[in-house]
């Protein structure tokens, strides 16, 4: 792991972009702190009658460009620093994708797989109730993240609307279609990453060739990437999750691996592959490495062993600043999280628009708009990268911070 916690990672990433930005230091100082962080305690009644005290947070990083936006994560290791970092990365991400949002994020410290469905519902309603006064369609719009999904969004939404006494579908995104969700939201993170990767591969001269890929993390983003990326010529040869990895140099069959994961709860021990440890999976020689789970998996201890030409960050914060430097030295192109995984929040924005207007789009429209937006963002960042001779992450931060700070400058420092 990195010596830095996730928030320190964010601060370092900001510092690495500042020399290429011509802005007043006071705005950088403001961006280095979240505007407000709500800490909540949720007493959760368990099936056996006892009460478990659960901690949660919702961080509002910056709202110069629009209401705070970002997911809610359920994970046993969630911390306040992590939620703050994730909210700051959302500010950068929304500005990168040119969305009318600032950055927010929520987290609840719990292992959701250990809860019954009724316990999960009580916990979700408890959290939604606790943050209700901190959010709303024009204030802060939460969405799914690690281990939360459309069912959890439904409980959040229902609780919020019952507290308020009115219907307000766009106060949450990532909802089921039946509650005003958008077509194309389910695989949006992976799909957005595919459009971005396609453009990156064209730039480095790899597009159109048969390519191999490794997927680290087999949740929503990782598994959908496996299903989709054959469209751009990728064969997934290795995949891993928290319990281990699987490898087959000829390619892992998507449908069979999904079936295996559903039955056994993990991709490890897949009969169609050889079992590997998580570390071994990261070291396999492949064209594209796709971290799709948690922060800090590519770090100073293992970055030199990465054997891929391109790293596509579908996770938030998977590469530490130390690892960024090592990968750059090795000539590996890192396509940063704030661009690579921005498809999720972009389709969340489409859902928010559709919910506000009542005008629902076809899946084709969603895909086309997503492609157009992310292809445009990619090329703007690529241009800055080339002009300034910097990493893609630095270029994305230059563009995003420039946008946020331009809005802050118009607003002025007040009160």
Minimum distance of ligand GLU from residue 329's CB (angstroms): 28
Which of 6, 56, 71, 112 touches ligand GLU by CB under 6 A?
Answer: 71
User: Taking the complex as a whole, how short is the minimal distance between the CB of residue 264 and ligand GLU, in angstroms?
Assistant: 26
Beta carbons of 152 and 73 less than 8 angstroms apart: no
**Candidate segments 21-29, 67-75, 76-84, 277-285, binder of ligand GLU by CB under 6 A:** 67-75
Is residue 70 a contact residue for ligand GLU (CB under 6 A)?
A: yes
Determine which residue in the list 2, 154, 173, 212 makes contact with ligand GLU, applying CB under 6 A.
173
Q: Are 211 and 287 in contact (CB under 8 A)?
A: yes
The span of 22-30, 63-71, 254-262, 302-310 binding ligand GLU (CB under 6 A) equals: 63-71
The residue at minimum Cβ distance from ligand GLU is 71
Rounded to 5 degrees, what angle do the CA atoms 392, 33, 333 make?
10
* φ/ψ (deg, to 5) at 186: -55, -50
Can you say how many angstroms the Cα of residue 236 is from the centroid of all Cα atoms in its chain? 21
Question: How many CA atoms within 13 Å lie on the side-chain side of 323?
Answer: 25
Nearer to ligand GLU, 145 or 241 (CB): 145
Output the smallest distance, CB 276 to ligand GLU, in A: 27
Q: Which stretch binds ligand GLU (CB under 6 A): 24-32, 66-74, 293-301, 362-370?
A: 66-74
x/- track of binding to ligand GLU for residues 120-159 (CB under 6 A): -----------------------x-x--------------
Is residue 182 close enough to count as binding ligand GLU by CB under 6 A?
A: no
Map the footprint of ligand GLU across residues 283-322, applying CB under 6 A. 316
DSSP 8-class letter at 235 = E
59 touches ligand GLU (CB under 6 A) = no
Pair type for strands 333-335 and 307-312:
parallel
Task: Assign 407 to helix, strand or coil.
Answer: helix
Residue among 74 and 229 whose Cβ is closer to ligand GLU:
74
Among residues 341, 366, 374, 393, the one that binds ligand GLU under rule CB under 6 A: 341
Asked if 80 is an active-site residue, the reply is no
Alpha-carbon distances of 58 from 63, 139, 189, 269, rounded to whole Å = 14, 13, 22, 37
Residue 375 neighbours by CB under 8 Å, 6+ apart: 195, 196, 199
Work out how close the CB of 176 gets to ligand GLU at its nearest, in angstroms, rounded to a whole number. Answer: 15
CB nearer to ligand GLU: give 67 or 126. 67
Pick the binder of ligand GLU from 91, 348, 354, 394 (CB under 6 A).
348
Cβ 72 to ligand GLU shortest distance, Å: 8
Minimum distance of ligand GLU from residue 377's CB (angstroms): 14
C-beta separation of 344 from 192 below 8 A: yes
List the one residue out of 247, 223, 242, 216 whose CA is nearest residue 319: 216
Work out the angle at residue 137's Cα, subtended by the Cα atoms of residues 53 and 96, and round it to the nearest 5 degrees.
95
Q: How far is the CB of 354 from ligand GLU (least distance, A)?
A: 14
**Sheet with strand 36-45: strands edge to edge:** 36-45, 51-62, 102-109, 68-75, 140-144
With the CA atoms of 195, 291, 224 and 113 taken in that order, what torsion angle do they form, in degrees rounded to the nearest 10? -150
Distance separating alpha carbons of residues 57 and 87, to the nearest angstrom: 11
Window contacting ligand GLU (CB under 6 A); options: 37-45, 68-76, 260-268, 357-365: 68-76
Q: Rounded to the nearest 5 degrees, what angle is found at the Cα of 224, between the Cα atoms of 288 and 61? A: 85
3-state DSSP assignment of residue 217: coil
Smaller CB distance to ligand GLU: residue 71 or 273?
71
Catalytic residue among 80, 93, 105, 385: 105
Q: Is 170 in the site for ligand GLU (CB under 6 A)?
A: no
Residue 221 C-beta: closest distance to ligand GLU, Å: 9
Number of residues that bind ligand GLU (CB under 6 A): 13
- Beta carbons of 250 and 286 less than 8 angstroms apart: no
Site string for ligand GLU, 76-105 (x = CB under 6 A): -----------------x------------
Cβ-count burial 155-186 (b if 16+ within 10 Å, e if not): bbbbbbbeeeeeebbbbbbbbeeebbbbbbbb
Binding site for ligand GLU (CB under 6 A): 69-71, 93, 143, 145, 173-174, 316, 341, 344-345, 348
- Positions marked catalytic: 105
């Amino acid at each position: 792991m990195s010596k830095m916690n996730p928030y320190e990672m964010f601060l370092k990433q900001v510092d690495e972009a500042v020399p290429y930005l011509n802005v007043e230091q006071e705005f950088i100082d403001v961006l280095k702190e979240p505007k407000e962080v709500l800490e909540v305690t949720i007493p959760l009644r368990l099936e056996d009658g006892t009460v478990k005290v659960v901690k949660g947070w919702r961080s509002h990083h910056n709202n110069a460009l629009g209401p705070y936006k970002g997911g809610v994560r359920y994970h046993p290791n969630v911390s306040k620093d992590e939620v703050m970092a994730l909210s700051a990365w959302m500010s950068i991400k929304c500005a990168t994708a040119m969305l009318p949002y600032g950055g927010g994020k929520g987290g609840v410290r719990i292992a959701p797989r250990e809860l019954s469905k009724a316990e999960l519902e009580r916990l979700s309603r408890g959290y939604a109730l606790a943050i209700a006064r901190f959010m709303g369609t024009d204030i802060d719009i939460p969405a799914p993240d690690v281990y939360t999904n459309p069912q959890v969004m439904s409980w959040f939404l229902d609780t919020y609307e019952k507290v308020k006494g009115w219907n307000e579908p766009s106060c949450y995104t990532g909802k089921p279609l039946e509650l005003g969700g958008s077509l194309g939201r389910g695989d949006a993170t992976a799909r957005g990453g595919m459009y971005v990767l396609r453009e990156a591969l064209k730039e480095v001269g790899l597009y159109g060739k048969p390519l191999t890929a490794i997927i680290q993390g087999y949740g929503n983003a990782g598994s959908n990437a496996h299903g989709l990326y054959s469209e751009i010529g990728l064969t997934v040869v290795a995949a891993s999750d928290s319990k281990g990895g699987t490898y087959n140099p000829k390619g892992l069959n998507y449908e069979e691996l999904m079936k295996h994961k559903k039955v056994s709860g993990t991709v490890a021990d897949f009969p169609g592959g050889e079992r590997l440890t998580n570390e071994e999976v990261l070291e396999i020689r492949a064209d594209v490495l796709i971290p799709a789970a948690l922060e800090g998996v590519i770090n100073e201890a293992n970055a030199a062993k990465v054997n891929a030409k391109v790293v596509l960050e579908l996770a938030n914060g998977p590469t530490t600043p130390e690892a960024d430097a090592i990968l750059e030295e090795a000539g590996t192109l890192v396509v940063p999280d704030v661009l690579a995984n921005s498809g999720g929040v972009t389709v969340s924005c489409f859902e928010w628009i559709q919910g506000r207007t009542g005008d629902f789009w076809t899946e084709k429209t969603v895909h086309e708009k997503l492609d157009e937006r992310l292809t445009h963002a990619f090329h703007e960042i690529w241009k800055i990268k080339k002009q300034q001779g910097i990493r893609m992450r630095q270029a994305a931060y230059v563009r995003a911070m420039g946008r946020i700070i331009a809005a802050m400058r118009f607003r002025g420092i007040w009160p």
